[in-house]
Amino acid sequence: MPAQAWSAPFLASLRRTAGLLFGSPLNAALTLAFGAVIAVAVPPMLRWLVLDAVLFNPDPAACRATSGACWSFIYAKSGQLLFGIYPVEERWRPALVCLLILALLGWSVRPASWTPRLLGLWIAALALIVWLMGGGLGLEEIPTSAWGGLPVTLILTVVAIGIAFPVGILLALARRSTMPAVRISAVIMIESVRGLPLLSILFVASIMLPLFLPEALLPDKFVRALVALTIFAAAYLAEVVRGGLQAIPKGQYEAAAALGLPFWRTQYLVILPQAIRVVIPALANTIIVMIKNTSLVLVVGLFDLISSGKAALADPAWPSPAAETFLFIGAIFFALSFSFARFADFLERRGPAAR
């Protein structure tokens, strides 16, 4: 009897699984097709990734000898991969910056912490980040040309979105303005930025800024890329916010007008808090897009994760395991944006929060 007691539910679940996999001719065909693909593709991948791979052996010769992946390279070069050409003895500073940004991001996604105080926290954190990365006031000064790797990716994402958000709100309000000159300028600005690839904006920023501006005012490469990313993010955020503004019923404006509130106070106290609440999932998606987009700054010569990976690969002592390095970098980006995507899903399921 005890044998039957455990085997009955087991058999039932087996039957259910078999029904799902082979219940109809279509399902059986799908199972066979996908099973064949998995059977062909997965074993060699597994052999390369784990079974034949060199995991921790710090000797480059071990990597030359195997046909599997060379993870010990990633292990040995992790400092250079993550922090680029930042001076080795100062690497605790970018490491601290990364932890700080990630902790703040984790803190900020809690709906409970969405208060005006959060903004102040971020501004203070940014000052701290600039000080930690750049130095001065007791720390050794490091120019932005030596910044590299993960902190560059994170700082570009956070600062670009941080500046672009208020600009985007202004653009969205301008696009819905009744004043034609204001509206037309906003439309031209938003639509031309959205019609262009980010790479071309980065190129234009790096080619045109030196020509536009007098040499004394010329910003360095880091700031140029930041300007391009901010303009790009502002145009997309403006459209997201505009979507929220369109969702606000006219009665809200009329109620504010009945109270005698002037334009900016109407927006700040009545309209924007509701409009932004509606579009929080869309905002999270835009942030994911921006995290992924910062990977493009390598093309204008900034030292982000990809370029520090390429620099690490140039070491002649190692057999240049490019696929492993880019897989590692891809995994970092994936972890960042996948967790943010799950958070966006959670917000979407929760629906627009009531006050």
Partner 1 sequence: MFRDARTRSIAIQCLLVMAVIAAASLFITTTFTNLQTRGIPIGFDFLTMPSRIVISEAILSYKSRDPYYWAIVVGLANTVFISALVIVFSSVLGLIVGVTRLSSNPLAAGTCRVWVEIARNSPPIVLLIFLYSLWWKVLPPVAEALNPIPGVFASMRGVMVPSVHVDMETAGVALIVLAGLLILVARMASALRRFRAPLSWAAGAALLFGLWVADAGFSTDWPVFAGSNFQGGLELTPELSTILIGLTLYTTGFIAEIVRGGVLSVGPGQWDAGRSVGLSRTQILRLIVIPQMLRVIVPPLNSQYINVVKNSTLAIAVGYPDFLAVMNTIISKSSHSIEGVFIILGVYLALNLTLSSAANWYNRRIAIVER
Binding site residues, partner 1, CB under 8 A: 17, 20-21, 23, 27, 30-31, 33-35, 37-38, 178-182, 185, 192, 195-200, 203-204, 207-208, 210-215, 288, 292-293, 295-296, 298-299, 306, 322-323, 326-327, 329-330, 333-334, 337-338, 341
Considering the complex, state which of residue 138 and residue 180 has its C-beta at the smaller distance from partner 1.
180
Min dist. Cβ of residue 208 to partner 1 (A): 6
Tracing tokens 């639509």 back to the chain, one arrives at 191
Considering the complex, state which of residue 41 and residue 123 has its C-beta at the smaller distance from partner 1.
41
How many CA atoms lie within 13 Å of 287's alpha carbon, on the beta-carbon side?
Answer: 26
* Integer Cα distance of 60 and 51 in angstroms: 18
Considering the complex, state which of residue 136 and residue 197 has its C-beta at the smaller distance from partner 1.
197
Min dist. Cβ of residue 54 to partner 1 (A): 15
Residues in the chain: 355
Min dist. Cβ of residue 181 to partner 1 (A): 4
Residue whose C-alpha is closest to residue 213's, from 69, 29, 223? 223
Considering the complex, state which of residue 61 and residue 207 has its C-beta at the smaller distance from partner 1.
207
Min dist. Cβ of residue 294 to partner 1 (A): 8
Residues with Cβ within 8 Å of 241's Cβ and at least 6 positions away in sequence, in order, are: 168, 169, 172, 275, 276, 279
Min dist. Cβ of residue 338 to partner 1 (A): 4
Considering the complex, state which of residue 60 and residue 142 has its C-beta at the smaller distance from partner 1.
60
Q: Kindly state the tokens that stand for 131.
A: 């000080």
Residues with Cβ within 8 Å of 44's Cβ and at least 6 positions away in sequence, in order, are: none
Please name every residue paired with 311 in a beta bridge, in sequence order, or none if there are none: none
Considering the complex, state which of residue 129 and residue 193 has its C-beta at the smaller distance from partner 1.
193
Question: How many Cβ atoms are within 10 Å of 78's Cβ, its own excluded?
Answer: 12
Question: How many Cβ atoms are within 10 Å of 180's Cβ, its own excluded?
Answer: 8
Min dist. Cβ of residue 219 to partner 1 (A): 15
Q: Kindly state the tokens that stand for 208.
A: 């045109």
Contact call for residues 129 and 144 (beta carbons, < 8 A): no
